[in-house]
């Protein structure tokens, strides 16, 4: 549940490739802004000038030699910059932060997908987050094969090009989060139309006890 002492709210969005997170965030931001709520949208990796440069390396398909350990450290470096430059100031200012991927992405992609293990990822995330844990994490659940069909003719990035086995491990990690019993995680049906997904997200937000969501 949301910390009543925190002025803002941090809502993160997770899911496998092609699960519609970006579309959902845009729709939810529009819904909240129409109600006069102060919203900040951002993404991982990226979200800052430094983070966007790191993102360009992480997703560059011409760099297949990037090692799993390097990938994890770059993800965490981008996250540390985002937390300090965007997330913490926005929370202190009483804004709702909607973030496309966050710390749980490294649990799924590097911990499970790259098989680096949960303990190593958790230790680095603790260092990067500086206490800025999400109040709510919405899991957009879509099987990897269905997500790939949504790419169309677009050229896949370095992570999207990974093996089916890699993406199945990532998806399994997200399913484990959804079934963990942790109240922070709320699963969404990513096969629903965009407006329906926004309605699902709003329903979960209503469960948070926070002044910013009064009357939602």
Note the pLDDT tens digit of each residue in 40-65.
999 999 999 999 999 999 999 999 89
User: Tell me, what CATH number does 137's domain have?
Assistant: 3.40.50.300
The pLDDT confidence band at residue 209, using thresholds 50, 70 and 90, is confident
Q: What is the pLDDT of residue 46?
A: 98
Query: Per the domain annotation, does 184 fall within a domain?
Result: yes
- The radius of gyration of the chain from alpha carbons, rounded to an integer in Å, stands at 16
Domain count, the chain: 1
Structure tokens at 46: 């990226």
Instruction: Specify whether the CB–CB gap between 40 and 91 falls below 8 A.
Output: no
The pLDDT confidence band at residue 148, using thresholds 50, 70 and 90, is confident
Q: What is the pLDDT of residue 159?
A: 92
Render pLDDT for 134-146 as a digit per residue (tens, 0 to 9). 999 999 998 888 8
* Residue 8, CA distances (Å) to 27, 55, 87, 94, 186 in order: 20, 26, 10, 4, 19
Structure tokens at 8: 């803002």
Q: Is the pTM above the cut of 0.75? A: yes
Give CA 63 to chain center in angstroms.
23
Structure tokens at 120: 């190593």
Query: Per the domain annotation, does 3 fall within a domain?
Result: no
pLDDT surpassing 70 at residue 89: yes
Q: What is the pLDDT of residue 4?
A: 45
Residue corresponding to tokens 């009543």: 4
Give CA 25 to chain center in angstroms.
10
Q: Which domain holds residue 37?
A: 9-208
Three-class HEC string of the chain: CCCCCCCCEEEEEECCCCCCHHHHHHHHHHHHHHCCCCEEEEECCCCCHHHHHHHHHHCCCCCCCCCHHHHHHHHHHHHHHHHHHHHHHHHHCCCEEEEECCHHHHHHHHHHHCCCCHHHHHHHHHHHHCCCCCCEEEEEECCHHHHHHCCCCCCCCCCCCCCHHHHHHHHHHHHHHHCCCCCCEEEEECCCCHHHHHHHHHHHHCCCCCHHHCCC
Q: What is the pLDDT of residue 1?
A: 44
Render pLDDT for 157-191 as a digit per residue (tens, 0 to 9). 999 999 999 999 999 999 999 999 999 999 998 88
Query: Per the domain annotation, does 19 fall within a domain?
Result: yes
| Residue 114: Cβ-neighbour burial (10 angstroms; 0-12, 13-18, 19+) | buried
| Pairing between β-strand 39-43 and β-strand 96-100 as defined by DSSP bridges | parallel
Query: Per the domain annotation, does 162 fall within a domain?
Result: yes
The pLDDT confidence band at residue 154, using thresholds 50, 70 and 90, is confident
Q: What is the pLDDT of residue 152?
A: 67
Query: Per the domain annotation, does 213 fall within a domain?
Result: no
| Mean pLDDT rounded to a whole number for the chain | 93
Query: Per the domain annotation, does 26 fall within a domain?
Result: yes
Q: What is the pLDDT of residue 132?
A: 96
Instruction: Specify whether the CB–CB gap between 47 and 169 falls below 8 A.
Output: no
Query: Per the domain annotation, does 215 fall within a domain?
Result: no
pLDDT surpassing 80 at residue 212: yes
Render pLDDT for 1-31 as a digit per residue (tens, 0 to 9). 445 446 899 999 999 988 889 999 999 999 9
């Amino acid at each position: 549940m949301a910390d009543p002492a925190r002025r803002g709210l941090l809502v993160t969005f997770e899911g496998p490739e092609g699960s519609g997170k970006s579309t959902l965030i845009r729709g939810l931001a529009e819904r909240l802004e129409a109600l006069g709520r102060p919203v900040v949208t951002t993404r991982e990796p990226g979200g800052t000038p430094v983070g966007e440069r790191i993102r360009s390396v992480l997703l560059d398909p011409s760099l297949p030699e990037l090692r799993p350990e390097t990938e994890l450290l770059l993800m965490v470096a981008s996250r540390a910059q985002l937390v300090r430059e965007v997330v913490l100031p926005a929370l202190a200012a009483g804004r709702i932060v909607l973030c496309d991927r966050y710390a749980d992405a490294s649990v799924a992609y590097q911990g499970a997908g790259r098989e680096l293990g949960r303990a190593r990822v958790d230790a680095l995330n603790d260092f990067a987050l500086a206490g800025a844990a999400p109040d709510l994490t919405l899991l957009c659940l879509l099987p990897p094969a269905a997500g790939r069909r949504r790419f169309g003719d677009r050229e896949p990035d370095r992570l999207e090009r990974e093996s089916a086995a890699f993406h199945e491990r990532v998806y399994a990690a997200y399913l484990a989060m959804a079934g963990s019993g942790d109240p922070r995680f709320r699963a969404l049906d990513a096969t629903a139309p965009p407006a329906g997904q926004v309605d699902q997200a709003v329903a979960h937000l209503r469960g948070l006890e926070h002044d910013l969501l009064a009357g939602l």
